Amino acid sequence: MNFYMKYICNNTVLKFIEMFQYTFIVLVLSISIALIYNKIFNYITFKGDSMLIIFINLLIDTYLICIAIFYIRQLALKIPSIPKMMNPQFKEHTTFDSYTIHLAAFVALIELLPFYYDHFHKLHYKLGII
């Protein structure tokens, strides 16, 4: 096997290791934040079924999810990359933004926040979509 093939194989394996590492970290952080957010949900939600109240609740929830994803990303990036420690020439965080943070954090947070779905269903009903 020539040098180029060794480099490609090694680099690809290291990318998969890094993707797994940060998927695990981001998923744990997402679950932790979702548990906290579910505990404080009743204190930051407005009661009512008007279109304005539903929209305000969705706006607040979406804003808090954006803040959560921002801080999940910041916390995850503080943890050193294992492949970088294994191979100092490895360019770290190449898979982080494009795959890990978008899928692991966003999907995990959305799936673990049932009231977010409830607000969308109420909005669909008010708009006549459902």
Helix, strand, coil content of the chain in percent (nearest 5): 80, 0, 20
How large is the average pLDDT for residues 9-21? 84
Burial of 76 (0-12, 13-18, 19+ CB in 10 A): buried
Is residue 100 within 8 Å of 19, Cβ to Cβ? yes
pLDDT, tens digit, for every residue of 31-89? Answer: 999 888 888 876 777 888 888 998 898 898 889 888 988 999 899 989 998 888 888 88
- For residue 129, name the pLDDT band (cuts at 50, 70, 90): confident
